[in-house]
């Protein structure tokens, strides 16, 4: 007997709707859901491998608990008892800072990850909060915090309506798009060009996205802030700034003009290795296009000037009149987000409210740099980190200097991992709590709906019933919250009940809320859903911008209504959100925030350029991979080795190495050996090695990945280079030296 079930794909930010074929409780096929209101049937090879990923025999089924040094299968009650017994005495003896948390990328891809980590942080009361964001998009949060007063107000390119898209350091044809949720990115870019629009890609590599563009600028890594400043300079110098950009209150444009004066195209061309005339043309085209937008991703954030570059992206969008305008950079309005309110000054965004203990790194958005986790564990003293909770993270491979972090983890008094795999990080845990596979989990995109190029809402219930010996990830995390607070024996439903009570309490006290003045107990009684997580979703939908307001708008959204539309509900194209969205103290878009002005000094020093001769390392992503955890699926790792060092033919000739030869790569933090792939897809002076590989540590249980181990690029990085305002690790544009181990792999 076979049946089908709908499921939103959790494997990348595109959030495609899938139709799963299910036979005897197993997913045997995954297709794109042609009726999905957002993805219209699109699917990629990762989504098509959903069944294999889901049924991977190496996925853990039962918790593991360390006994006498060995991780052994255990029951759930025993595992949670071990967590409480491991965690609580350390917190009681050494205080809340003794516990740290690391939240990895899949937390933004699971429903539980969107609901419980804030409660866990509350229960722990620690400032030692580390996430994948400081290996990724934190610079964008900081620039949004400074510009708009809200670190989560990230404008996305209005892909379907723009006439000119400038992509900086993103390769959505392989990544699926990021901080821009757009299923079928390739189709949307084709549509842009079909309607006469232009696509420019700035990337040191000729990526598949660059190949699909009208123009590709192979910039020198790490210099995009200079290029964007030159664009700004041209906009002002040639009087191309849109009159009254956005028509909304913007302050600080004159200061930006003064800062940009030092960066005309001729001054930055050599450092960027992009001709001045190209930069000038770019600025003119952006200004001339009826609707244009600049969009930056990993190559614009995990770099030396990440926050500055992220800021300049939106400065250009603002100065060309494209901020908050159809076809420009717009703010999505998610169904579980905050309902719009009338404009008024906000509290603004504060940076560095506290600092890390060892190196004094400033916090950003309540987080400390992931690159500083190892030293916080290693360095003795008051408030040393002794216990660590890792949820859906593999920092031993994803963060700088994994060997050091690996040793640090081994020295912890207690560590728990919530992870389906025994991998490079979870192997160090004292307790591993495995969530169920995606087919047995519900799905709602709390994070990506706030970044989607079209407003819509979709929810998937589990496609397959939860196995009797498993717990949902929501229950696992709720029980962790209880353990962290020393209430391990309590009913996990109490965690959701408390969260609902607190949120409704706030809503009924808010004069702007549709439930103002009502009784929260009465509202809670109206909530539907099979578990606490679904009831919380119902509440968020009903209080959200399209919600029924618990009866105030009978046509509004509820969980029941969303469930009645299994292919989703389209909520229309993005709509302008300014000035109501602003939370700055001035109530304006603060175009020249003080910390940015200070960063410009640092940028000016970079104009001199760096000592040449060194090669600069950048990363890359492959359509069939996803960070560190999809290398255990035969269908996704088959074919030739993908963990190769790409090198331009001229550099290869200079070094005397041929395709397939072996080189030793030396970075600030260490060295490794990798096979060379000679290709003119990377520019001269640049080499590229992907991340997420290096599956050769003992004690893991990922048999396929171990047979395709590759090397860990982050071993080249000692983690000392950070974008200072955001604490984000510099993962791109790092200098490396190559020596040839095995020169020409001449075919014999």
Ligand X SMILES: Nc1nc2c(c(=O)[nH]1)N[C@H]1C(S)=C(S)[C@@H](COP(=O)(O)OP(=O)(O)OC[C@H]3O[C@@H](n4cnc5c(=O)[nH]c(N)nc54)[C@H](O)[C@@H]3O)O[C@H]1N2
Q: Which parts of this chain interact with ligand SF4 (CB under 6 A)?
A: 9, 11-12, 14-16, 43-44, 46-47, 176, 183
**Binding track, positions 198-227, relative to ligand X; x by CB under 6 A:** ----xxxx-x-----------x-xx-x---
**First-last CA distance in the chain:** 54
Nearer to ligand SF4 (CB atom), residue 181 or residue 732:
181
| Joined tokens for residue 166 | 């400038």
DSSP string covering 6-56, please?
Answer: EEE--SSTT--EEEEEEETTEEEEEEE-TT-TTTTT---HHHHTHHHHHT-
Alpha-carbon gap, residue 427 to 406, rounded angstroms: 10
Nearer to Mo ion (CB atom), residue 250 or residue 729:
729
687 forms bridges with which residues in the sheet?
Answer: 617, 647
Nearer to ligand SF4 (CB atom), residue 339 or residue 623:
623
Nearer to ligand X (CB atom), residue 136 or residue 445:
136
Q: Is 298 in the site for ligand X (CB under 6 A)?
A: yes
Nearer to Mo ion (CB atom), residue 33 or residue 136:
136
Shortest approach of ligand SF4 to residue 32 CB, angstroms? 7
Shortest approach of ligand SF4 to residue 710 CB, angstroms? 21
Among 42, 116, 546, 629, binds ligand X (CB under 6 A): 629
Nearer to Mo ion (CB atom), residue 134 or residue 644:
134
Among 13, 54, 136, 224, binds Mo ion (CB under 5 A): 136
Shortest approach of ligand X to residue 287 CB, angstroms? 21
Residue nearest ligand X by beta-carbon distance: 299
DSSP string covering 228-281, please?
Answer: HHHHHHHHHHTT-SPSSGGGS-EE-HHHHHHHHTT--HHHHHHHHTS-HHHHHH
Shortest approach of Mo ion to residue 726 CB, angstroms? 14
Strand 589-590 and strand 250-251: the pairing is parallel
Nearest CA to 307 out of 104, 577, 582, 597 is that of 597
Nearest CA to 178 out of 167, 170, 186 is that of 170
Alpha-carbon gap, residue 732 to 273, rounded angstroms: 17
Q: How far is CA 559 from CA 107, 274, 546, in A?
A: 22, 52, 12
Shortest approach of ligand SF4 to residue 476 CB, angstroms? 24
Q: Which does 141 bind (CB under 5 to 8 A by kind): ligand SF4, Mo ion, ligand X, none?
A: none
- The sheet carrying 2-8 orders its strands as 2-8, 17-23, 26-32
Nearer to ligand SF4 (CB atom), residue 176 or residue 669:
176
Q: Which does 11 bind (CB under 5 to 8 A by kind): ligand X, ligand SF4, Mo ion, none?
A: ligand SF4
**Binding track, positions 375-414, relative to ligand X; x by CB under 6 A:** ----------------xxxxx--x----------------
CA 30 to chain centre: 25
Q: How far is CA 498 from CA 491, 521, 536, in A?
A: 12, 12, 10
Nearest CA to 43 out of 210, 185, 167 is that of 185
Shortest approach of ligand X to residue 703 CB, angstroms? 14
Q: Is 694 in the site for ligand X (CB under 6 A)?
A: no
Shortest approach of Mo ion to residue 108 CB, angstroms? 9
Q: Is the peptide bond before 579 cis (omega within 30 degrees of 0)?
A: yes
| Interface contacts to ligand X, rule CB under 6 A | 12-13, 104-106, 110, 132, 135-136, 168-172, 174-176, 178, 202-205, 207, 219, 221-222, 224, 297-299, 303, 391-395, 398, 418-421, 423, 435, 473, 618-623, 625-629, 691-692, 713-714, 731-733
């Amino acid at each position: 007997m076979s049946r089908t079930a709908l499921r939103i794909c959790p494997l990348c930010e595109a959030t495609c709707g899938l139709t799963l074929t299910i036979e005897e409780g197993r997913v045997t096929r995954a297709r794109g859901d042609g009726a999905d209101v957002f993805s219209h049937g699109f699917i990629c090879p990762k989504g098509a491998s959903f069944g294999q990923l889901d049924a991977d025999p190496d996925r853990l089924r039962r918790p593991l608990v360390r006994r006498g040094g060995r991780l052994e299968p255990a029951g759930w009650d025993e595992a949670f008892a071990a967590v409480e017994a491991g965690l609580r005495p350390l917190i009681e003896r050494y205080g809340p800072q003794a516990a740290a948390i690391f939240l990895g990328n899949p937390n933004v891809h699971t429903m539980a990850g969107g609901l419980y980590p804030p409660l866990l942080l509350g229960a722990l009361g620690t400032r030692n909060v580390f996430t994948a964001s400081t290996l990724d998009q934190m610079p964008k949060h900081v620039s949004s915090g400074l510009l708009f007063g809200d670190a989560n107000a990230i404008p996305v390119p209005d892909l379907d309506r723009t006439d000119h898209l400038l992509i900086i350091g993103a390769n959505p044809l392989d990544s699926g798009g990021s901080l821009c949720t757009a299923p079928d990115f390739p189709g949307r870019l084709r549509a842009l060009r079909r309607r006469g629009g232009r696509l420019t890609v700035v990337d040191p590599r000729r990526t598949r996205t660059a190949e699909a563009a009208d123009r590709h600028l192979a910039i020198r890594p790490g210099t995009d802030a200079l290029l964007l400043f030159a664009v700004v300079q041209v906009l002002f110098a040639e009087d191309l700034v849109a009159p009254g950009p956005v028509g909304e209150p913007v302050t600080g444009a004159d200061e930006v003009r003064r800062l940009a004066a030092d960066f005309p195209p001729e001054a930055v061309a050599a450092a960027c290795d992009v001709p001045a005339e190209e930069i000038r043309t770019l600025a003119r085209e952006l200004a001339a296009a009826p609707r244009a937008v600049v969009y930056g991703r990993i190559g614009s954030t995990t770099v030396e000037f990440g926050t500055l570059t992220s800021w300049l992206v939106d400065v250009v969008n603002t100065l060309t009149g494209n901020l908050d305008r159809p076809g420009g950079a717009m703010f999505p309005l998610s169904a579980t987000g905050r309902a719009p309110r009338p404009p008024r000054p906000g509290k603004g965004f504060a940076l560095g409210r506290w600092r890390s203990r060892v190196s004094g790194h400033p916090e950003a958005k309540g987080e400390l740099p992931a690159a500083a986790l190892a030293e916080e564990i290693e360095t003795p003293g008051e408030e040393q980190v002794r216990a660590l909770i890792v949820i859906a993270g593999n920092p031993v491979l994803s963060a700088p200097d994994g060997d050091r972090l690996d040793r640090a983890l081994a020295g912890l008094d207690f560590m728990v991992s919530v992870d389906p795999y025994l991998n490079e990080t979870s192997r160090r845990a004292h307790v591993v709590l495995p969530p169920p596979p995606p087919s047995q989990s519900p799905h709602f995109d709390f994070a990506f709906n706030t970044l989607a190029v079209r407003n819509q809402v979709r929810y998937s219930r589990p496609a397959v019933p939860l196995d009797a010996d498993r717990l949902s990830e929501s229950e696992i995390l709720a029980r962790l919250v209880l353990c962290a607070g020393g209430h391990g024996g309590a009913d996990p439903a109490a965690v959701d009940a408390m969260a609902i009570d607190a949120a409704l309490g706030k809503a009924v006290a808010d004069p702007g809320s549709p439930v103002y003045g009502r009784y929260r107990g009465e509202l809670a009684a109206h909530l539907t859903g099979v578990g606490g997580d679904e009831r919380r979703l119902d509440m968020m939908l009903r209080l959200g911008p399209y919600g029924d307001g618990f009866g105030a708008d009978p046509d509004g959204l509820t969980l029941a209504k969303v469930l009645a539309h299994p292919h989703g509900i389209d909520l229309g194209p993005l709509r302008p959100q300014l000035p109501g969205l602003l939370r700055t103290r001035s109530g304006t878009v603060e175009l020249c925030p003080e910390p940015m002005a200070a960063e410009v000094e640092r940028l000016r020093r970079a104009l001199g350029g760096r000592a040449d001769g060194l090669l600069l390392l950048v990363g890359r992503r492959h359509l069939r991979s996803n960070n560190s955890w999809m290398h255990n699926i035969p269908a996704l790792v088959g074919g030739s080795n993908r963990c190769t060092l790409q090198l331009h033919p001229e550099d290869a000739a200079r070094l005397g190495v041929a395709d397939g030869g072996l080189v030793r790569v030396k970075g600030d933090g260490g060295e490794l050996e990798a096979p060379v792939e000679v290709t003119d897809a990377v520019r001269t002076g640049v080499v590229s090695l992907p991340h997420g590989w290096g599956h050769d540590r003992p004690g893991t249980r990922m048999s396929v990945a171990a047979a395709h181990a590759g090397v860990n690029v982050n071993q080249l990085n000692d983690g000392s280079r950070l974008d200072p305002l955001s604490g984000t690790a510099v993962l791109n544009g790092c200098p490396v030296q190559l020596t040839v181990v095995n020169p020409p792999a001449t075919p014999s």
